[in-house]
């Protein structure tokens, strides 16, 4: 992209628009919708659960436009780390980007761990006798295999991801076709009394729970933003890949949700002993095309789940690398593999935390894991990044912005309200688990870690603030060409 620094840290810009969109969609449409349809029905108490997916889509689009502008103008390895570093360096030095990396090292692997939990859950359809211990060992084996496959070059990873994206499309397409060809409107729209009572506190509590599950299902639209230094023409590719992946997944999710409810009675999804509660897609196929077809599609769903973990760790492992390279995180994370050029310690650490998160999810429940990861993520990524967009427009008005947010600042406001609703209802939706308190405790521990680290590195508040505007300076250099603008 004209006006931006070249790919740094040894990365090569090899990933185009199709591959970037495929990476996002593979991460977004992993195991999520196949395991959360029953959770969404339980949150709303009926088939009106489709409201949760629609609300999640609105929040994802609003937040996606924040990512689109920031990613297009600051296309570096690390995603949010780069944006927060540029925006908040003027007053608090490296505090905010450090805290982001600190929290990202937790919430990104937790997201991946939900995919592995779902993988084992669907595997149980093919192997009904799979016990707790065997399931735990299987999930840990899947995580180890993902890490081994990622121990390769980006060119190989791009091809593997494309193949897995095709498998994902095949899996959801078959489930949708099966549901549409056996669709019962009376079953799909069998709303209980008071389903849309907007004056009821029960509805809004269910809405908040559904919004949390919905945005969890859409998470992944930002995967390639973490890989900004590896994207071809990032000023155009990143915004398009973000928006296209959200719109594509929104259509898929709505067809899956409504289609499943048109085949399976929603009351079955509330019974933990029913296959519809644990493997709803398999139940749809078994009900429509028979058990043989259900088994085949279940295998495709397992590949889809595997692909989501694969692409998530691929993008997430880049976060601590860029921070360490810029001396905003522990220096050991700046090491790259000498041959394949990927962050060694970042990948290894996130793989290990994914394993721990998987075991937590297996021995509690998936809803708890989703609530924990969203509350950890909200404060130092979602809310801070919305603020960063506004700060950068004021602090660096001359920064080239190949894409500018449509209808600014309305999408930012919508995203802000959505994330605050998710955070505010977190304790209510996970009673006894205290996700808000845990998120604040993790943030507080991160502040302590920053103080210790800053004293060792002799940076603010124990040294002077270092203001670096490398993207802005690159645009001012004589070699920088004109930067095309889009949006409004």
List, for residues 276-325, the tens digit of each pLDDT value: 998 999 999 999 999 999 999 999 989 888 887 887 787 778 778 877 88
Element (H, E) at 404: strand 403-404
Residue the block writes with tokens 């993008």: 315
Confidence of residue 235 (pLDDT cuts 50, 70, 90): confident
Full domain range(s) for residue 24: 17-463
Q: What is the pLDDT of residue 486?
A: 38
∠374-245-221 over CA atoms, to 5°? Answer: 25
Radius of gyration, alpha carbons of the chain? 22
Q: What is the mean pLDDT of residues 85-99?
A: 92
Residues 243 and 241: their CA atoms lie apart, in Å, by 6
Q: Tokens at residue 218, please?
A: 């859409």
Report if residue 479 sits inside a domain.
no
Contact call for residues 164 and 304 (beta carbons, < 8 A): yes
What's the CATH number where 338 sits? 1.20.1740.10
pLDDT beyond 70 at 63: yes
Measured distance CA(136)–CA(124) in Å, rounded: 12
Residue 331 located in a structural domain: yes
Residue 171 pLDDT class (50, 70, 90 cuts): confident
DSSP of 92-150, one letter per residue? Answer: HTTHHHHHHHHHHHHHHHHHHHHHHHHHHHHHHHH-TT--HHHHHHHHHHHHHHHHHHT
Instruction: Specify if 475 maps to a domain.
Output: no
SS3 of residue 300 by DSSP? helix
Nearest residue to 80 (alpha-carbon basis) of 370, 385, 376: 385
Which segment of 59-73, 168-182, 214-228 scores lowest on mean pLDDT?
214-228
Site of tokens 């925006």: 87
Residue 471 maps to a domain: no
Q: Which of 33, 25, 79, 23 is nearest to 56 (CA)?
A: 33
Per the model's pLDDT, the better-predicted residue between 14 and 66 turns out to be 66
How far apart are alpha carbons 211 and 277 in whole angstroms? Answer: 19
- Top pLDDT among 204 and 228 is at 204
Give the span between the Cα atoms of 169 and 303, in whole angstroms. Answer: 11
Q: Quote the pTM value.
A: 0.85
The three-class DSSP label of residue 227 is strand
Rounded to 5 degrees, what are φ and ψ at 477?
-70, 155
148, two tokens: 């081994």
Distance from CA of residue 1 to its chain's centroid?
25
Identify whether the C-beta of residue 193 lies closer than 8 Å to the C-beta of residue 336: no
Q: Is the pLDDT of residue 238 over 80?
A: yes
- Does 336 or 182 have the greater pLDDT score? 182
Task: Return the closest-CA partner of residue 110 out of 355, 423, 343.
Answer: 355
Task: Answer whether residue 46 is part of any domain.
Answer: yes
Q: How many domains does the chain have?
A: 1
Nearest one of 7, 82, 74, 75 to 328, comparing CA atoms? 82
Q: Let me know if residue 295 belongs to a domain.
A: yes
Cβ-proximal residues to 431 (8 Å cutoff; 6+ apart), any chain: none
469, part of any domain: no
Is 478 within the bounds of a domain?
A: no
Mean pLDDT score across all residues of the chain: 86
Instruction: Please give the Cα distance from 301 to 173 (Å, whole number).
Output: 11
pLDDT at residue 485, as a whole number:
36
């Amino acid at each position: 992209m004209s006006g931006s620094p070249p790919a740094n840290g040894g990365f090569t810009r090899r990933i185009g628009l199709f591959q970037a969109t495929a990476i996002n969609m593979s991460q977004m449409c992993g195991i999520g919708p196949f395991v959360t349809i029953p959770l969404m029905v339980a949150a709303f108490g009926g088939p009106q659960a489709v409201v949760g997916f629609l609300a999640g889509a609105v929040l994802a689009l609003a937040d996606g436009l924040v990512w689109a502008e920031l990613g297009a103008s600051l296309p570096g390895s690390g995603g949010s780390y780069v944006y927060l570093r540029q925006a908040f360096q003027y007053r608090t030095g490296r505090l905010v980007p450090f805290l982001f990396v600190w929290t990202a090292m937790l919430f990104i692997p937790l997201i991946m761990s939900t995919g592995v939990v779902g993988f084992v859950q669907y595997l149980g359809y093919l192997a009904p006798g799979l016990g707790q211990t065997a399931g735990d060992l299987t999930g840990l084996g899947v995580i180890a295999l993902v890490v081994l496959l990622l121990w390769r070059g980006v060119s190989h990873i791009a091809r593997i991801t494309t193949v897995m994206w095709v498998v994902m499309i095949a899996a959801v397409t078959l489930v949708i076709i099966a549901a549409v060809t056996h669709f019962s409107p009376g079953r799909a729209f069998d709303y209980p009394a008071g389903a849309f009572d907007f004056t009821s506190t029960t509805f809004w509590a269910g809405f908040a729970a559904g919004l949390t599950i919905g945005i969890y299902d859409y998470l992944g639209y930002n995967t390639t933003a973490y890989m900004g230094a590896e994207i071809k023409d990032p000023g155009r590719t990143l915004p398009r890949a973000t928006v296209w992946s959200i719109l594509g997944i929104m259509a898929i999710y709505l067809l899956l949700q409504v289609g499943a409810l048109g085949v399976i009675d929603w009351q079955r999804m509330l019974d933990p002993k029913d296959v519809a509660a644990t493997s709803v897609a398999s139940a749809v196929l078994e009900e429509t095309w028979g058990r043989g077809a259900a088994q085949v599609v279940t295998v495709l769903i397992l590949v889809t789940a595997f692909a989501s973990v694969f692409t998530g760790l691929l993008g997430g492992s880049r976060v601590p690398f860029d921070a360490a390279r810029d001396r905003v995180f522990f220096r050991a994370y700046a090491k790259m593999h000498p041959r394949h050029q990927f962050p060694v310690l970042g990948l290894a650490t996130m793989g290990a935390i994914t394993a721990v998160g998987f075991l937590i999810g297996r021995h509690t429940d998936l809803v708890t894991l989703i609530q924990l990861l969203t509350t950890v993520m909200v404060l130092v990524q979602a809310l801070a990044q919305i603020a960063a967009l506004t700060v950068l427009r004021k602090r660096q008005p001359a920064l080239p912005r190949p894409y500018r947010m449509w209808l600014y600042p309305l999408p930012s406001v919508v995203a802000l309200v959505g994330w605050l609703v998710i955070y505010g209802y977190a304790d209510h939706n996970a009673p006894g688990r205290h996700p808000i308190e845990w998120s604040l405790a993790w943030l507080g521990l991160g502040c302590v870690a920053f103080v210790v680290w800053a004293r060792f590195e002799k940076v603010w508040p124990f040294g002077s603030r270092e203001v670096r505007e490398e993207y802005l300076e690159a645009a001012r250099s004589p070699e920088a060409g004109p930067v095309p603008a889009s949006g409004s």
